[in-house]
Amino acid sequence: MPVRQLVLGEARLLDLEFVQLDLDKGFKLSRTKTEYLECKFSDGTPDADVEVKLDAQVIPKRESFKYLGSIIQGNGDIDEDVAHRIGAGWMKWRLASGVLCDRNVPLKLNDKFYRVVVRPAMLYGAECWPVMNSHVQKMRVAEMKMLKWMCGCTKKDRIKNEAIRDRVGVASVEDKMRESRLRWFEHIKRRSIDAPVRRCERLAI
């Protein structure tokens, strides 16, 4: 059913009584599936009385939602996205465990399979993450469990993580995350100085 208007309640930060988007072009929204997320990135106090409506129907508010494979949180954190990426990596791992844990498959081949299939699932979107040490530690723990299973090692073997990585032949996950951020930084630097993404560099926060 076409929606005539998408109306936002009082927006104090914009100093407006309401913001209205006209949808007369036949744009369609699902009344039962539509939700919205309020970004609370600034220090301003959110207004709990604000309502978002499709015509007269109030749209439910979410604290986070999935968009293009990533979990976006209203407070700007990435805890849920990191946990989601780790879960995605484990899902790929389980699908490929018959190969990765097969002792008849050369470890070098398993290494390539891991780097092509499992690790990209874990690091999807990592180039834009504002990571903290806690996030890196969670990624490191998950990866080391996978690598130890590939090598057939357990905690009882008391083998250092560096020795496991050397045996498999993969770099640490924190190095790959740093590499992803630097690659994205290079893309930004190639844009013109007036591009919106470059203007953000000159913002005084």
DSSP symbol at 8: E
Q: How far apart are CA 76 and CA 130, in angstroms?
A: 9
- Residue 11 dihedral angles phi and psi, to the nearest 5°: -115, 95
Where do we find the tokens 């849920």? Answer: 80
Residue 179: how many other CB atoms lie within 10 Å = 14
Q: Going by C-beta distance under 8 Å and a sequence separation of 6 or more, which residues neighbour residue 41?
A: 75, 76
Residue 39: how many other CB atoms lie within 10 Å = 11
Average pLDDT, the chain: 79
**Cα angle, residue 195 at apex, residues 8 and 179 outer, rounded to 5°:** 100
Could you read off the pLDDT of 24-55 as tens digits, one per residue? 556 666 777 778 787 776 656 655 667 777 76
State pTM to two decimals: 0.74
- The pLDDT of residue 4 is 41
Could you read off the pLDDT of 157-196 as tens digits, one per residue? 788 888 888 888 888 888 899 988 888 888 888 888 888 8
